């Protein structure tokens, strides 16, 4: 994980992870991520975690922390390159929090839900689902 005192700006070619906490965010037929996993709700930003400077153990540990905090199950994560968001006109900015210095927010989503869905559809196609190991 990044040193909280020295978190660099997010790079266009970085990979970020969206933790999959609801089985409904996955297609059971082919284990791909549905667009709804990428729609910000209820907040106006989408919360994600950077891979940079993170070990697999730390990354999965963050997913587990979030799942416990929200009292849900961690099914896996959707890995996607930052450019999938920025190409849609969205901003991906470092937003380190106490428990996760690699935390980022994806912002500048339109308020119109159908427009959000269109963006999320494009992003989901570019994502790679990584299931949680048993």
Residues 6+ apart with CB under 8 A from 81: 13, 14, 15, 16, 126
Percent of the chain scored above 90 by pLDDT? 87
Residue 58 lies in a domain: yes
Residues spanned by the domain of 82: 15-131
Number of H helices, E strands in the chain: 3, 6
Largest CA distance in the chain: 43
Residue 6 lies in a domain: no
Q: What is the pLDDT of residue 122?
A: 97
Residue 74 lies in a domain: yes
d(CA 65, CA 19): 11
What is the distance of C-alpha 116 from the center of its chain? 15
d(CA 41, CA 120): 12
Residue 70 lies in a domain: yes
d(CA 62, CA 53): 13
Report field, pTM of the whole predicted structure over 0.75: yes
CA distances (Å), origin 81, targets 23, 27, 38, 42, 44 = 22, 21, 13, 23, 20
DSSP per-residue codes, 38-49:
GS--SSSSEEEE
Residue 96 lies in a domain: yes
Count of structural domains within the chain: 1
Q: What's the pLDDT tens digit per position in 34-80?
A: 999 999 988 899 999 999 999 999 999 999 999 999 999 999 999 99
Residue 4 lies in a domain: no
Residue 8 lies in a domain: no
Residue 2 lies in a domain: no
């Amino acid at each position: 994980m990044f040193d909280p005192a020295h978190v660099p700006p997010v790079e266009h070619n970085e990979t970020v992870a969206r933790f999959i906490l609801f089985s409904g965010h996955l297609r059971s037929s082919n284990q791909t991520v549905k667009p709804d996993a990428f729609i910000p709700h209820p907040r106006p930003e989408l919360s994600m975690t950077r891979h940079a400077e993170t070990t697999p153990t730390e990354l999965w540990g963050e997913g587990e922390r979030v799942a416990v905090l929200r009292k849900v199950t961690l099914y896996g994560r959707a890995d996607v390159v930052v450019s999938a968001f920025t190409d849609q006109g969205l901003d991906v900015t470092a937003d380190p929090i106490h428990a996760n210095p690699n935390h980022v927010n994806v912002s500048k989503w339109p308020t119109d839900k159908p427009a959000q869905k269109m963006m999320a559809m494009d992003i989901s196609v570019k994502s790679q689902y990584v299931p949680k190991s048993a």
